[in-house]
Each structure stands twice: as structure tokens, then as C-alpha cells.
Amino acid sequence: MNEKIDLKLYSVADLKDYFFHSKPVELLSDEVISRTRAWSIINNPFSTDDLYVVSALFVNDEIAAYTHLFPDEQDGQRIYWNTTLYCAPKYEGRGYAAIVIGQFCELYGEHYFDLNAAAASVANLKFCGLNVEYVPQYILSGKAISGRGLKAIGAKLLERITYVFTNQKKRLLRDIANAVYTLKYTTFLDNNVYAFIKEHSTNNVFLRPKEIFNWILTYPLMQESPLIKRVVKDSEFTSTRAAFRMFGVEVYDNEQLIGFYILNVSEKSVDVSYIYHDSEHEKKVFLSIAEHILQFNKPRLIVTDERLLHFMQSYKIFTRTSKYKKSFSYPQGFMYDSSKTMQSGDGDNIT
């Protein structure tokens, strides 16, 4: 039996028609891109109606593979971040993932980037001509112990005893109590805060425009859904999470801005997605993050700032640190400086 194969590109205008105006668009559905993700991309400050943001391949009108992108800006140049890459298991091995990426590479290849792809996706990105490097990310956590047998129970007990005798939580609480700083929670950046970010981002690979930061804070790619078991799954890259909260935090010493960061809080983790701080007041900024960590009481903390990492390690409130390497795929013409830091929230890692 012959298969009918359709390769599609969907624009921002197509997403508006389908999701906002409830008009049919050929083969487009919630299975191809979730409504929350589509709405976010539609409202990206650099999205235009004619921009293609979804590349999809269908076999006999059934979704076989897809990928999405959203626009950004670096040094005044429009760039595009790959976000999501899916191939239905029954169609693996046919090269469909490379085909949907290839459509975008033909359109935007000189300015097409990806961060933190799965191994199979990295292979497809390489095949399409992108360079690939790996950047570090650190995860602080307790030791993961599974099982219910005597051995597992004993290991958990030992882990708990070790934590009780080594953690410096009381010292951390004392340092927080003695520190003088105030916080302002925000859903947008004004010119003063963004000027502070620019001044303290010279060692970063990317500096996102103020408009993109405000988009991240206002139109997240995820949606908290407390009764997640009642939610019908839309796509393989669903935007539904049992817990999802994002906080933009300004830190002040009296009236002086000394730090800004974005925290992404999920069911089990706190991710310091972005952090910018004045080195003179570094300890106060880090203590304010630690105060959030204690408040949220999540089992994992994710950071890329090594000074923040060492600061948190010094209080031993997490017993384990692991180093995770994210793939960074970039076009041939991009001058990548590996001595600079990639923020945890760069690329599409904003949620």
C-alpha cells in the first residue's frame, strides 16, 4: 500500500487561525503543537505572521514527526531557537526527524540554534550541518535511593543520619537572618533592571533582549495544572505540568539594585534560570536565593553559576552534586566562546 506523505510548514498566522480564531488549518492540531506553546510563540515579540514556526511531516494524515522554533535576537541579529523534536516510534529510522529539521535549516540555517537536545536529536542537528559543543549544568540533590527492601531502608537511614550531622542549615538560617536585603517580584523588566543585566552579562554567551525576558515572564511555554490526572494529553511535548511557577526577582540593598534572577519552580526542582549580580554584594544575592530554596523545600536545585554552586555547597543542605552536560548546537558562522557561561534558561530552556 502506497503511503501519502505530506511535509508542512505552519506560520504564526496559521497558529492564530487555528488556535485563536478556531479556523481549520490543514492537518494542524493540538497533537502537532500544544495550545499553550502555540499561544506563547504567537506572542513572542519577534514573531511575525509570515514566520514559519512549525515543521511537520504526516503519513496518511497521521503526525509522524515535528519540530518547532521561536525567534530571538543576539547583537541585533535575528536568531531562531529549535524547541521540541518528535518522531513517532513507528516511523523511527526513516529520517523524518532530519527532514523536519532540514526544512528549518533551509530557511534559517545561518541563524538556527538548539540547546539541550536528546542524543538522537543531536545526531539530526549534526546531520543538518550544525556544530555541537557541550556546556555544564549542576544539579544539587539528595542521594536517589529506590526500593523498599531492608537494604534500601538502611541506605535511606544512613543518608538521613549523614545529612543531620553534616548539614549547615542552622548557620544558613542565621546568615539569612543577619543579612539586610529586600526583594521585588516582577513580571516585567524596566529599563533600569535591564541596564543592570547588560552590565553584569559580559561573561555570558548570550544576552537576551529586554523584550524576550518580558515574553518569558509573561507567556511561559508551560501551564500549571493541579489536577493533572484529569487533563487529556494533547501532544508528546505537552505544556501541562502538575506544578509550574516562575518568579522574576529583583534584589536591593537599601534602594540599590544588587541582583536579578529568574527562578523556575516545578514539582521537584528549583532552577535558577538566570542570575545577574554585583560581585560586591554577591553573598546577599546568594542568600536571597537560598532563602527561596528553604521556602520551596524541593529536593533538587539546578544552577549554572559556579560561584552560586560553591556557595550552596558550603552549607551542605544538599548531599550530592552532579554535573550534567547540555548539548549546544549552533551554525557554522557563529563564533562560540567556550570560556563564557551559558545561563540555565538560555535557548528554549526557559521553562
How many whole angstroms separate alpha carbon 149 and alpha carbon 329? 43
Where does a domain end: 129, 153, 184?
129
- Same domain? For 285 and 162 the reply is yes
- Same domain? For 102 and 180 the reply is no
Domain annotation covers residue 277: yes
How many whole angstroms separate alpha carbon 344 and alpha carbon 302? 8
- Same domain? For 197 and 321 the reply is yes
Where does a domain end: 113, 129, 145?
129
- Same domain? For 73 and 104 the reply is yes
- Same domain? For 311 and 267 the reply is yes
Task: Tell me the three cell numbers of residue 103.
Answer: 526544512
- Same domain? For 244 and 283 the reply is yes
Domain annotation covers residue 35: yes
pTM above 0.85, yes or no: yes
pLDDT in tens, 109-135: 899 999 999 888 899 899 989 999 999
Q: Find out whether 351 and 220 touch, Cβ atoms under 8 Å.
A: yes
Number of domains in the chain: 2
Find where cell 492537518 sits.
27
Q: Find out whether 247 and 263 touch, Cβ atoms under 8 Å.
A: yes
Q: Tell me what pLDDT residue 168 has.
A: 83
- Same domain? For 211 and 258 the reply is yes
Task: Tell me the three cell numbers of residue 131.
Answer: 556544530
- Same domain? For 166 and 19 the reply is no
- Same domain? For 108 and 252 the reply is no
How many C-beta atoms surround the C-beta of residue 174 within 10 A? 11
Q: Tell me what pLDDT residue 151 has.
A: 59
Q: Tell me what pLDDT residue 158 has.
A: 57
Identify the domain containing residue 253 by its residue range: 137-326
Domain annotation covers residue 345: no
Where does a domain end: 111, 129, 147?
129
Domain annotation covers residue 339: no
Residues of the chain with pLDDT under 50: 145, 155
Domain annotation covers residue 341: no
Q: Tell me what pLDDT residue 163 has.
A: 59
Q: Tell me what pLDDT residue 147 has.
A: 57
- Same domain? For 220 and 306 the reply is yes
- Same domain? For 90 and 229 the reply is no
How many whole angstroms separate alpha carbon 272 and alpha carbon 264? 6
How many whole angstroms separate alpha carbon 61 and alpha carbon 68? 19
- Conformational region of residue 262, where left means phi above 0, alpha means psi within -120 to 50, and beta covers everything else: beta
How many C-beta atoms surround the C-beta of residue 82 within 10 A? 25
Domain annotation covers residue 350: no
Q: Which residues contact 74 (CB under 8 A, 6 or more apart)?
A: 206, 207
CATH of the domain at 141: 3.40.630.30
How many whole angstroms separate alpha carbon 314 and alpha carbon 104? 45
Q: Which residues contact 64 (CB under 8 A, 6 or more apart)?
A: 57, 58, 87, 88, 91, 94, 96
- Same domain? For 112 and 173 the reply is no
How many whole angstroms separate alpha carbon 125 and alpha carbon 136? 19
Domain annotation covers residue 232: yes
How many C-beta atoms surround the C-beta of residue 305 within 10 A? 22
